[in-house]
Structure 1
């Protein structure tokens, strides 16, 4: 419908004139509509008062015609246009019917493409636009079914730079170029698919989750394809946040962008996308929890075993040490400092008893040393004086310890000391030992009379107590979270109440418990500085157990001179994750490396210089192999094994001043951060040798030697088949462990 507009805000009405196209008027529906619309009996039905803006009124006032007149003019032009187009269509249809078959099939013809439907839609004509003139009738010489269109040309001559008509490219040339690139792309896809199929058939698909780019490159060199590969363009692997397990030692990325992006990066990304749904055969992860061994197929293997927390956590290692007697003849006190679970109802009383015994021995050691060194001080009626009765009580406790170790106390039940830290005698002895550490103590003059007896007793204790020299005389203990690594949460304490306060305050970790371990007070020092040793070892099977030791290791130094008077972590913890937060002390020897790391060659040469023999290769390395193998054997019943899998561990050792080797802890996923010259070489080397040993060789002793792996031991064969039904099926033995004496 058309709208009649009044600029004086008068009522207007809609109407549709009857002068429309003849065919439209013949339609019954149109006739009925026009009759109803053209009825003016009720003008209010089609009327309303529109809201006209001021701007519209100004424009309308400048026009010479009214809105109704302009609409009528538009309708006249439209009707004339429809009639002209209709006549043109009829003329063309008659000429086509009368045309003769052309002599040539290549005559030029301008096809008619306009239809009545499209013309009927073009109803909007501006006032200044003149009606479209009638087009001249073209000569039609060809039949519509035998017309070949001329190739369309470009724009007008004047629109081009050189005033020359530019034709579109030849269809043949476009087809040739298109087919060339399609064939090239098709050949490349065939090559990539062939490469992917070869990797799938050869079971050479791997998956990496963690900072193991050296292993990634080694596998790629061997033709392996990585699943879920992230190229350098899609993601920066150096910025990925890796939330590690508490028992993992890795804290950084070993990513190197210069060597991690080969020239065929795009092709490699394409072929890895083809295998995105394939089953990975080799799974490399940072956390052991990312690999479920029970869901691995026979064609799959991983770089982790499940349930290794029995020796990779401090609390688990403590319990494994207690069960070592069932699997090995090794005595834990020969290589592992005494360790207890503070939150355990069974271990805490044993620890308190051990602490009190060590305090009694420390008092006798201090008295003997002060007399031997000439630093004995006596002052009568002094409040800070250690009385003769306290020394005699400590002497009686040490004598009972000696009898207990030598089993001479079996028939002697008269002298049994009560180890109650709240008793008056023990309170006095503990206060005396605390003052000794502060060097604010004097002795009662009568204590000198016990010098000879104390010397003989301490000599006897030294012979039967393997950790007598390691204990020192300060009674220092190191408290560690049961399931954390990289030196987090570790404290050195010497007071019993401070140690027990950790349990009473319930500042325990969610995963586990705090363990308390005797601190090595007399470590071997290099230029007055404490150090520890990081040793790698590899487990390639648990049924039967197979352990390998890496030939090389490295030594980590503290950045501060050693001191028992200051318990700061920068002095007593050699972890790189701790030392990187502190600068090297100017009072430390300049002979030590500034980055606090040295390799085995320098360390073994130092041992040769101070001992006159190659003690590392002749003694300490062999002892380390025996220690680790016995611990793995003790842990083997708890491990979920999977054929083909392996795991690399990092063990931390210390050496006492009497050249005894002590194990501190074992780390899962040892750090491969190459932040020093030594670790840059060794961490790369151990990963390359591990891949070469696990992937290329058959894990034999001869091939292990070429990969710098030394055979450490193999356990007995394990029968994985379950016994027949009914044979000892319901048999169960329940018991309670008897706590062994920790001094023997």
Structure 2
């Protein structure tokens, strides 16, 4: 009861009370019960200055008029501060329970990379003026949304003038599955090869891709064996190893007793044959091979080969030395390097990284180098298999190392439109180190995963180089200083930056058709890259909602800058195209594609009805009816001494056409029959007695043509209503009539009497 009374007192203090000298007094017209007045004396109310209230109302009125009301969900103090400096007023929303939100993120396979969910958001001490203005705009429309998850905004119900910081359906490239599938379609958008910047990847939930991965693993085992032989002969030391790999394998060899001798020369020969078959498939020279030709290795032979590969490469078993085999291996590797851009990063251990398809911050990621282990990891979760959520990707076994430690690069980019596709690249980035020295002797996440959400919970190793900071992060300037010490600083601008730009553009091109393009929408993404030993960047993944938590001095400075520069591009540049965009650089703007205007489901068809003329009665003889077909018919010999009926009337236009026919001009092909109008037509059969010198016969084609003429001429409808007149033609001569037809005057009188009767 006391809590309820306190709440009412606050509302009355704002609405039903007068503010005088910092205290609330009841208005004369307010009916406040006495007991409420007693509670007022025990509740500490905010002190409202009349001058401050007038100022707040004036600022709110101006902001609402200029459509400057924003809403921020999540711990983004930089965004709030930058918007307030531009005259925007925040409409504060209720913050959900932190633990419930964290459970939701863990259970929903979110593709967001926002580490802010692990940080406890502190309620900022708002200035009283901002708090008051937030209350005054609580019922106004929000014109700018900034949230840490796209699911918090329903973009389909937003109005055109409302701005949001998330596109719908961005999972086509911000999830590991989406990026894996869509980059295979790059050849439809660009001539670039995805294998040159994206490690090959497979969905193990799809059976066809699972078989493709098994074939890739076997083929990679063959190439790894060839590299193992060549590098052992040359005495190459594994990069990043604190000791010689060959010395370790010699110790293993001494401690391991083989139960039976193995013929390794046959094993190398099989590896060479598999590589040769792979080259032939790339050159399409294997299309003439018969389907009955057996494969290079059977299933049992593959099983024995993989076991032998484990013994040699992983366990350090002794292998025969042969100069001839080494030369063959070198020659084959040289040929493979010309067609396989990922041959150098493959290494010799055949390590693959297994990732859940839609999780971020390194959750659920594991590394494995044995085929049975990889398949067992995937088969253990039937739900992820059913939804094709497991992704296996080739691990970069030989990355560029800094003081013997692995790192990756977080690079920001901004998309402000999808049609035309508009991409902004941020000039600043930062490096994230692991806490342990790099080594393939162990596949622990502390060595191979550089996510800050994982490494921040680990203690740096004592064996790690002292040049790596305790915060496990470097800015791009510090990394360029490191490259300068090695004489490679120029490669940052010539190799690293152009490679990252091209990889981002290609990834967005493949997803453009799958995105819902909405104006007044933008999104900031974080791309993760690894660098090869030649400084060539390899795209690992793209994250939505990249973390902006100031976890280290590096991120505290760079994350603040990228948020402020994002608002410069999104807001300042809308009002002034020449506005400063900070460190954002426009790297791609596609030509606009015209979208057809939506006409809806109601279609309008305009036109007029075609009127069909009255159909004439068909010509029929005394013994048979006219044929129903309209095609050309061969003439038959006329029957002897039989009188054929003539049409009851012939119009002038039809008579003219008959004369043309008699002059030798062939009639055009008959038109298809037209449906008759539902008009009753009186049919009169006219039988004329004639004196015939010879037997005559009208061709069927001529009859059909005459009937079609009646149908075509518009005068027919008039003839149907007028008085019928007998034909006065006494002579008719056509190409198929052998003689003349003469009608006497007596016959005419007989016809007249018949009609009158």
The change in CA–CA distance for 1:226 and 1:646 in structure 2 (over 3 A counts) is same
CA distance in 1, matches of 2:70, 2:387: 31
Q: Deviations for 1:651-687, whole angstroms, at most 9, x for unmatched residues?
A: 0000111222100000000011111111111111111
Partner of 2:314: 438
| Matching residue within 499, 523, 533 for 2:374 | 499
Q: Does 1:201 align with 2:65?
A: yes
Q: Does 1:545 find its partner at 2:433?
A: no
Q: Distance in 2 between matches of 1:176 and 1:309?
A: 56
Counterpart of 1:451 (choices 316, 326, 339) is 326
Aligned to 1:719: 594
After superposition, residues 71-150 of structure 1 pair within 5 angstroms as: none
Out of 475, 487, 493, the position equivalent to 1:617 is 493
Deviates more, 1:506-515 or 1:488-497: 506-515
- Equivalent pair of 2:224/2:348 in contact (CA under 8 Å): yes
**Structure 2: 5+ residue stretches without partners:** 1-17, 28-47, 237-245, 602-757
Summarize the alignment of residues 29-40 of structure 1 with structure 2, pairs less than 5 Å apart: none
Task: Write out per-residue CA displacement over residues 323-378 of structure 1, whole angstroms, 9 at most, x where no aligned residue.
Answer: 11111221100000000001012211111111111011111221222233397999
Q: Give 2:80's aligned residue.
A: 216
Match in the other structure for 2:136: 274
Deviation at 1:425, TM superposition (A): 1.1
Hey, what's the Cα distance between the residues in 2 that align with 1:386 and 1:223? 79
Q: Which has the larger radius of gyration?
A: 1
Partner in structure 2 of residue 489 of structure 1: 364
User: Structure 1 507/261 Cα, relative in aligned 2: closer, same or farther at 3 Å?
Assistant: same
Indicate whether 1:671 and 2:533 are aligned. no
CA contact (8 A) 1:371 1:448 kept: no
State the match for 2:660 in structure 1: none
1:142-173 deviation per Cα after TM superposition (whole angstroms, max 9, x unaligned): xxxxxxxxxxxxxxxxxxxxxxxxxxxxxxxx
> Retained in 2: the 8 A contact 1:437–1:474?
yes
Match of 1:581 among 457, 481, 502: 457
**SS of alignment partner, residue 631 of structure 1:** helix
**What residue number does 2:235 align with?**
373
- 1:330 and 2:192 are equivalent in the alignment: yes
Residue 701 of structure 1: how far off its partner (Å): 8.0
Encode CA deviations 1:221-258: one digit per residue, 9 max, x unaligned. Answer: 1111111257xxxx899888454462010122698999
Q: Is the 8 A contact 1:390 1:428 kept in 2?
A: no
Deviation at 1:633, TM superposition (A): 1.5
Cα drift, residue 193 of structure 1: 2.7
Post-superposition shift, 1:531?
0.6
Q: Any idea what the Cα deviations from partners look like across 1:593-632, whole Å, max 9, x if unmatched?
A: 1111010111112223324442112221122111111211
Q: Deviation string for 1:671-711 (max 9, x for gaps)?
A: 1111111111111111111112211123988545x411011
1:369-423 CA-to-partner distances (Å, cap 9, x unmatched) read: 2233397999999636452212111110011112222333333458966388x71
Change (3 A) 1:226 1:407: same
1:656 corresponds to which of 532, 535, 542? 532
- Mapped pair 1:411 → 2:288: yes
Q: Does the 8 Å contact 2:415/2:423 carry over to 1? A: yes
Q: 1:289 to 1:197 in 2, by over 3 A?
A: same
Contact 1:633-1:715 at 8 Å conserved across structures:
no
CA offsets 1:576-600 (integer angstroms, 9 cap, x no match):
1111121101001101111110101
Equivalent-residue separation in structure 1 for 2:403 and 2:63 (angstroms)? 54
Distance in 2, matches of 1:175 and 1:572, equals 63
**How far apart, CA to CA, are the structure 2 residues paired with 1:598 and 1:176?**
56
Q: What residue in structure 2 maps to residue 124 of structure 1? A: none
Asked if the contact 1:653–1:663 (Cα under 8 Å) also holds between the matched residues in 2, the reply is: yes
**2:355 corresponding residue in structure 1:** 480
Distance 1:521 1:360, change over 3 A: same
In structure 1, the partner of 2:112 is 248
- The residue aligned with 2:478 is 602
Check whether the contact 1:205–1:224 (CA below 8 A) recurs between aligned residues.
yes
Normalised by the length of structure 1, the TM-score is: 0.68
Q: Following TM superposition, by how much is the alpha carbon of 1:289 offset from its aligned partner in structure 2, in angstroms?
A: 1.3
Match of 1:692 among 568, 578, 595: 568
Q: Is the 8 A contact 2:568 2:579 kept in 1?
A: no
Counterparts in 2 of 1:240-319, with a 5 A limit? 241-242=101-102, 243-244=104-105, 246-252=110-116, 260-262=124-126, 265-319=127-181
SS at match of 2:486: helix
Inter-partner Cα distance in structure 1 for 2:455 and 2:390: 23
Q: Distance in 1 between matches of 2:575 and 2:307?
A: 58
- Matching of residue 353 in structure 1 with residue 215 in structure 2: yes
Q: Distance in 1 between matches of 2:98 and 2:270?
A: 61
- Cα gap change, 1:366 to 1:701, in 2 (>3 Å): farther
> Which of 371, 387, 390 is 2:264 aligned to?
387
Distance change >3 Å, CA 406–CA 606, structure 1 → 2: farther
Q: Are the aligned partners of 1:229 and 1:269 in contact in 2 as well (CA < 8 Å)? A: no
**Partner residue of 2:92?**
228
- Aligned residue for 2:206, secondary structure, equals coil
Residue equivalent to 2:743:
none
Which position in structure 2 is the counterpart of 1:10? none
Whole-Å separation in 2 of the counterparts to 1:431 and 1:371:
22
Tell me the distance in 2 between the aligned counterparts of 1:387 and 1:372. Answer: 19
8 Å contact kept, 1:701–1:711: no
SS of residue paired to 2:75: coil
Match of 1:708 in 2: 583
Cα distance in 1, alignment partners of residues 166 and 552 from structure 2: 27
Tell me, in whole angstroms, the C-alpha distance in 2 between the residues paired with 1:622 and 1:672: 25
Which residue of the partner structure matches residue 508 of structure 2?
Answer: 632
> What residue is the counterpart of 1:109 in the other structure?
none
Among 400, 425, 445, which residue is 2:277 paired with?
400
Contact 1:217 1:260 in 2 (8 A): no
Give the 3 Å change call, closer, same or farther, for CA 513–683 of structure 1 in structure 2.
same
Alignment gaps of 5+ in structure 1:
1-173, 727-744
Aligned counterpart, 2:736: none
- 2:291 paired with 1:429: no
User: TM-score normalised to the size of structure 2?
Assistant: 0.67
| Aligned residue in 2 for 1:112 | none
Residue 293 (structure 1) shift:
1.7
Shift of 1:270: 2.0
> Residues 588, 567 of structure 1: CA spacing in aligned structure 2 closer, same or farther, 3 A cutoff?
same
Question: What is the alpha-carbon root mean square deviation over aligned residues?
Answer: 3.3
SS at match of 1:648: strand
**Aligned length, in residue pairs:** 544
Relative to structure 1, the CA distance from residue 391 to residue 494 in structure 2 (aligned partners, 3 Å threshold; closer, same or farther) is: same
Q: Paired residue for 1:592, among 462, 468, 474?
A: 468
